[in-house]
Structure 1
Amino acid sequence: MENTPPELGVIPQAVTLAFGKQDISVTYGFFPWSRALMLAEQGLWDGSVAWTCRPAMLGQFYFSDPIVAHNYVLFHREHMDFDWEKLEDLENYRLGLTQDYNYGKEFEEAVASGAISADKTTSDETNFRKLAAGRIDLFPMEQAVGMEMLRRLELEDRISFHARPLQSDYLYLILSRRLPESEQFLRQFNEGLDELRESGRLEELLANSLPYLPASYLIVEDEKSRCTE
């Protein structure tokens, strides 16, 4: 059974519009990230949005062309004196992470080795509340999504972020390889996404949905940046 859907974010809106260019309607279910991935992998749902490129997932999923650029930054409490340049600078802080997110190879190796202290939960909202309460010091999150989430949580006056990106990547639609129709859906989505981008509608959507960021922040500069081995 589907959960009651919240207001669609900018990525699901873009996916809906791209499929709409091919006269395909989209239905969304809202689940924790781990469950969403499992449901898509098993073919119980067609796919999931939005994921960074993970070559280890290519055996289970088709990755679309990149939808938008993706930049993780480190969120912190508004009045915390914080600066950093390299991963070693994070070793004295407590970080909150969200389960099944991809924070980049170097960062995740530092966490796995114990060089960076991190605690994982299944929810971005939980991490932001832990940050506001002082239970963690830093939370890496996509800047645009994080700012919108803070607005909804009414925490935008208590939490800020450092402008240096922890990771820069792209976000993709993934479709289950267990479903025979996925290859056709992938082709149709990519064609619709191309139309959306060429018409200027994607940039317009970004500008309207995220007015506090320049639309160019999320624009894919290399439209052929596909997820491969």
Structure 2
Amino acid sequence: MAVFFSLPAPAHGTAGDNKQQSGEQRKSSLVIVTGQFPPFIDENRRDKGYVSRLVTDIFAQVGIKTEFLFVPWGRALRMVELGREAAVMYFDKSEQRAESFTFSDPMLWDNWVLFHLKKKAISWRRLEDLSVYKIGATISYTYTPDFYRLADENVLSVSWQPYDKQGWKMLMAERLDIFANTESAWYYAQQEFSPQNLARLTIHPKPLAAQLGHVLFSKAHPDGDFLREQFNLGFSKLKKLRTLADYFPDKVAVPWPDISASSKNKP
């Protein structure tokens, strides 16, 4: 995340003065890297999507103005991992990501589900039961450790795609039996496909997993820890003023996630 300094330090200032001034100035503006995930994160919307609006309002509580840089998901993670930018949104926790990132307080739960065509009956109790199906999945998303393990072992036949759009098209063309994605991805399908095509789709009632969405902050960026602290402070203030449903229309009466909630994928 790029942080902008509006005024240069005076040439006659001491090192202590410069450090204090830098700390004050870096609070004013920041850039968060992200990918497209309509309507949660959407470059074409004025508010940049539900999650983007929430994050904007959270940082506004502590006087920080946000901008969003939209790039492919894999590149977004890599940019922030290397410290070229300070923050990327939004992702679940994982052991691998914890090596390079710290995590904000959780913003919301989102189920991972299995989309499929109604005419294709899907039956499963354990992940291994899905070995008879062709499964689509999106690179850089957070599936369960068992899902990755079984895919690596070729127990599951997984077709990895860089963007959701390819997965949806393959499912509609019957080149996939299942497309594994978050429940909120249904919004994207509604925007991309006709009502006639949407009527062909359904979601298996058994969820694959559940995850908590976070903003990730780079361990390699000098402002990463500071900005994470500011985010959490702003979020604690916002939760006293707004409800989850103020940002996500389908979350009426759903509470904000508990700060202590585990972000491990649920079975």
Same fold (TM over 0.5): yes
1:170–1:220 CA contact under 8 A, matched in 2: no
What does 1:34-73 correspond to in 2, within 5 Å? Answer: 34-73=74-113
- Per the alignment, do residues 38 and 14 of structure 1 end up closer, same or farther by CA in structure 2, a change over 3 Å counting? same
The one-letter code matched in structure 2 to 1:21 is Q
Rounded Cα–Cα distance in structure 2 between residues aligned with 1:226 and 1:34: 24
- Quote the offset at 1:40 in angstroms: 1.1
Alignment length (residue pairs): 220
Which residue of 252, 258, 262 maps to 1:222?
258
Rounded Cα–Cα distance in structure 2 between residues aligned with 1:226 and 1:62: 15
Equivalent in the alignment of 2:144: 104
2:244–2:251 CA contact under 8 A, matched in 1: no
What does 1:72-91 correspond to in 2, within 5 Å? Answer: 72-91=112-131
- Per the alignment, do residues 226 and 81 of structure 1 end up closer, same or farther by CA in structure 2, a change over 3 Å counting? closer
Rounded Cα–Cα distance in structure 2 between residues aligned with 1:174 and 1:226: 16
Equivalent in the alignment of 1:149: 188
The one-letter code matched in structure 2 to 1:141 is N
- Per the alignment, do residues 214 and 83 of structure 1 end up closer, same or farther by CA in structure 2, a change over 3 Å counting? farther
Rounded Cα–Cα distance in structure 1 between residues aligned with 2:91 and 2:217: 11
- Quote the offset at 1:91 in angstroms: 0.9
Equivalent in the alignment of 1:132: 172
Structure with the larger RCO, 1 or 2 (CA within 8 Å, 6+ apart): 1
Rounded Cα–Cα distance in structure 2 between residues aligned with 1:216 and 1:125: 32
Rounded Cα–Cα distance in structure 1 between residues aligned with 2:238 and 2:116: 35
> After superposition, what is the alpha-carbon deviation per residue over 1:29-82, rounded to whole angstroms, capped at 9, x for unaligned?
111111111111122222111111012222321211111112100011133222
Equivalent in the alignment of 2:9: none
Equivalent in the alignment of 1:27: 67
Which has the higher mean CA deviation after the structures are superposed, 153-162 or 66-75?
153-162
RMSD of Structure 2 on Structure 1 (CA): 2.2
Equivalent in the alignment of 1:203: 245
Rounded Cα–Cα distance in structure 1 between residues aligned with 2:61 and 2:86: 18
The one-letter code matched in structure 1 to 2:260 is K
1:75–1:160 CA contact under 8 A, matched in 2: yes
1:196–1:202 CA contact under 8 A, matched in 2: no
Identity over aligned residues, as a percent?
A: 25
- Quote the offset at 1:15 in angstroms: 1.0
Identify the structure with the greater helix proportion: 1
- Per the alignment, do residues 80 and 110 of structure 1 end up closer, same or farther by CA in structure 2, a change over 3 Å counting? same
Q: Provide structure 1 residue ranges, at least 5 long, that are not aligned to the other structure.
A: 208-212
> Aligned pair 1:115/2:155, yes or no?
yes
- Quote the offset at 1:97 in angstroms: 1.0
> Aligned pair 1:172/2:214, yes or no?
yes
Which residue of 12, 31, 44 maps to 1:6?
44
Three-state SS of the structure 2 residue aligned to 1:79 is coil
Per the normalisation by structure 1, the TM-score is: 0.87
2:245–2:251 CA contact under 8 A, matched in 1: no
Equivalent in the alignment of 2:29: none
- Quote the offset at 1:214 in angstroms: 4.0
- Quote the offset at 1:216 in angstroms: 5.3
Rounded Cα–Cα distance in structure 1 between residues aligned with 2:234 and 2:198: 35
Three-state SS of the structure 2 residue aligned to 1:28 is strand
Structure of higher CA gyration radius? 2
1:96–1:119 CA contact under 8 A, matched in 2: yes
Which 4+ runs in 1 deviate beyond 6 A? none
Equivalent in the alignment of 2:26: none
2:51–2:247 CA contact under 8 A, matched in 1: no
Which residue of 233, 236, 246 maps to 1:194?
236
Rounded Cα–Cα distance in structure 2 between residues aligned with 1:133 and 1:215: 35
